[in-house]
Structure 1
Amino acid sequence: MIDVASFGANIQKSVLEAMSDALGLAILVCDKNDEIIFAGRPILQFYPIPAQFLETGTRLRDFLGAVFDSGVRSGTAPETSRRHSNRDEWISEHLSHHWRERFEVVERIGRHRWISLRKRRLPNGLGIVSITDVSEQKKREEQIQLDLERIELTEDILDCMPNPICVKDRNLNYVAVNKAFAAIHGLSPEAILGRSVWDLLEPELAEKFERTDRATLETGAVHCQPEQIVQADGEDLWVVTRKFRVGGPGKFLLVTCMNDVTDLVVGYGDRDGVTTGRSPLDVKDYNAFVPAQNCYDPFRSIDMQHLVEAGAIIEPVSAIRHRILLVTSSAVLEQNLVPLLRRWGLDACAVRTRAELTAFEEVCAARGIEIAALVVDGAMPEAHDVVTNWTALPSLQLAKNWTACDLRARVLALCGKGSGGDVACAASAPADWDIIVPDIGPAGRPAPDVEVVVAEDNEINQFVFAQILEGLGISYRIAANGEEAVRLWQQYRPNLVLMDVSMPVMNGFDAARAIRAAEKSAAFQTPIIAVTAQALDIDIDESKAAGMDDHITKPISPDMIEAVYRKFVVTRPERMAG
């Protein structure tokens, strides 16, 4: 008898080791007497036991006992593995598993380690055990489960919120909505998902929303706009809508959150009480707002460009009340220059001819009224003779190349000279008048019956515009859409048009183009001011392309409207100089 292993046994052991390495398995084989006949070295990566327990001929019971004693055994964590357990019961339980025809289990053998155990008992009595590390797979499964739980919790929270919320993908299709948002449209969330705003709203509003959506997706700038929504059930919903971009490049999503402020907004009952001076949008109780962070720094918030523009719009008023007499044959010049002089703090009036000038001088002398200076229209044929022959008080002949600032400085300089001297002025009269009066027909442009046309479809904003313009003493008409605005412009030819860019029937851009097309043969071009929900570059560029002169943003205020009116109506002629 030769007591050595056969050559075939070595081959079988090599094959098992190669298979173990190739498949990433730890393999253990025992015979029908539960003695180990092969144990791969990778087993030591899972169980820190002495290598002698893996040798051929070792009893399976001794191997399991060594595993139990190591403290890192199936179903236990390191911090609890030292607890007093029944060793014999644990070994017996696991021996019984080895005698099952098939037994598979995923067990934890440490804080962050999981293994997959597969046990087979063959008909000839051989038992085969394969051990695989599935820690990464288990971690991914746990993370996926945790993410699903978080998503479910987040959806439950969002559905319970009263504020409508929706999420759109890069193609501006809805990928997530909460119940409050679905309730606005009277649809279920499933009926909205996968669709776009064009499937839910009329084309005019859909175009407006898509424009702001794409601007936020492209620039990342947060869009904020107070809005009044009429829900599917007919109830009004007052919200402050905010749109912002989330995600990384190529994976951007658009989140829209509508903060419900309906409980704070009142005023429908005060529409008839305009004389009270209250706004139709009042806050019930300011104590409802809890003070939060105050991040405002007045010095950092100063915008020098705004200061420059404000200085150009609002002229300083002189405290001295001098009397200025204007001599001009142009009714348009009189209508523009006399209010301008009065705004500078001067008492001003006008005469049309030399005969009226002589009569006016006699009346003033009889009543003891002193005139500080005489301002002569340089476009009059007899302007030079009037200035030359007038010696009773300082006189001024307007020159062609003067700006409004030059005119104001020279007029105030004349007033400072008093009535005892003469002031040298331009020697030659200009061929035409282009300092104060634009190039219009000789008959001039009569004052319109309506000074401002407002194009606004929102009833609340219409009411606000009406209050402001009435408070400023400016006559106006309100159009509910762009088509009506063009009709009112044709009827009244106002001094100014305030044009909302987003309106039904015809939007503000098309209405402005229609007005500019009709003005091609006209001598006077009406200033058109775009009124936008937010100063987006795309709206500003399109308004300029449509021929609009400037833009303002909502919400509007009396100071804003007054500044625009003074810029383009009262002081418009002086800005056309040079």
Structure 2
Amino acid sequence: MSDVALTGANIQKTVLDAASDALGLAILVCDKNDEIVFASRHLLQFYPISASLLQPGTRIRDFLGAVFDSGVRNGTVPERSRRRSNRDEWISEHISFHWRERYETIERIGRQRWISVRKRRISSGLCFVAISDISDQKKREEQIQTDLERVELTEGILDSMPNPMCVKDRNLNYIAVNKAFCAIHGMTAEAILGRSVWDLLEPEFAEKFERSDRAVLETGVSYSLPEQLVRADGEDLWVVTHKYRVGEAGKHLVVTCMSDVTDVVVGNDDSENAPSRKVGFKVKDYDLFEPGQNCYDPFRALDMQHLVEPGPILDAMPQPLRHVLVATSDPNLEQRILSKLREWQFDAGAISNLSELAQMRKAVASAGLSVDLLLIDAGMKDAKDIAAGWETLPSLLLPTDWTEAQLHTDILRIGEIAAEATEVMPLVPEDWDIVVAPEMPLERSHSDVEVVVAEDNEINQFVFAQILEGLGISYRIAANGEEAVTLWQQCKPNLILMDVAMPVMNGFDAARAIREAEKSSGTRTPIIAVTAQALDIDIERSLAAGMDDHITKPISPDMIEAVYRAFVPEKQERPAVQA
């Protein structure tokens, strides 16, 4: 014991005890003879051994042997430790650890207990061992890992669901979305998460959705509504939207599930010779479906391969204005103007700043498209800069006190000037006066309409318009079968291109109505069915409804030209006048 006294003479036991208490550590110090110099009482919290084994002079081998015999030792589980470990090998291995200059490890000493062990051997031969309990930390790490695995599993399940789903927090910001929901908006999950519906949709729809979300969040009463959406790719999506409140009080979330019923709405078969097998249900009242979010941007989503310009089959005549670009930083004004322009049968898009103008300019140039008029909000900060940003485009300043009637008149007058001009119109007069014709253009007769297009999808309407204009064929577009019948009665066109799947009245019913009306007039207008796929059942139904032929989407200029030449005799071709 004299050696121990000499070696440990400079170690102050009281200092080590105080350090052990203050740091919450179990401290063990042994000398170069592998005998204990100091052992704090905190070691007994980890190992159920006799306190006498902590006395100075005790051999490390005896201390480790007692730890092994207790069954609660580093790296073992008590119930199985004796069958899996050899006592002498375990003691020898841990003695070797004491002779390393530096050794750190995290070990398990029971089913629910973890310790951090740090060992240092200094040049004098003394070995210092510090042991701390990190069970709570390990449990938190395990819980975090479990939560992450659970989140990954949940995200995997959500992404595999075919129906769009999203989750919003108490601030109604998106915190989870699946792939089907992202596809509606044409955005990635990273671009949606953390944002609100106001960042994604037009103000009218954003306000409507927030009201229903807030009602569900505050009352806990679930919400359901049939809606017709327009996806970012321009395709219609018919859904029944359900909203639920989930979670604990103070941590409530709003979960939105959209049940896709598109196949039920448009995938029906009511022909007389249809097979007995049901392929869907006939929706009698489309008014049940409220207009929902419109995520389609025609300038961004247009498939340019459909707009390859062939040589026109007729000599093109000067066309009035058709494509209008609106420049405004006011979302409410943008929505109002775009809605009105589309109601007047203009193709319209919008920009909000100079950067978007530059992007639009590149997109239009690369696609070979044309924009006929730039309509600028006079209240914009950089209105004149935007007007000057497109040197070849006629511009019209929209005053703050504008009216719908005056706007329509001004656009038509500028269209008349553009059609008759022999040189490029000046972009924006310095005094911002609007250049107008002295008189309104005469209304063209209905006989000038050569083709009626029945199509409810906006992107397909835009494609039809571009192709027919490129071919120099005048046209009118109907949004459903009922409108197509009305336009046929008014315009008496040479040809009808009839989409078979439309709301209000589908193409088959519209064709039957036209053929029935023709019985008293003795005339017959060629009707061409436009189908999404060349299915035998659609072709048979088209012929049974009185249609003359069919074409399939995606349409192309060559396809339209071939159909027109096949069904419209050359003597019936009229000078091209845009509708």
Question: If the length of structure 2 is used for normalisation, what is the TM-score?
Answer: 0.46
Question: If the length of structure 1 is used for normalisation, what is the TM-score?
Answer: 0.46
Structure with higher RCO (Cα < 8 A, 6+ apart):
2
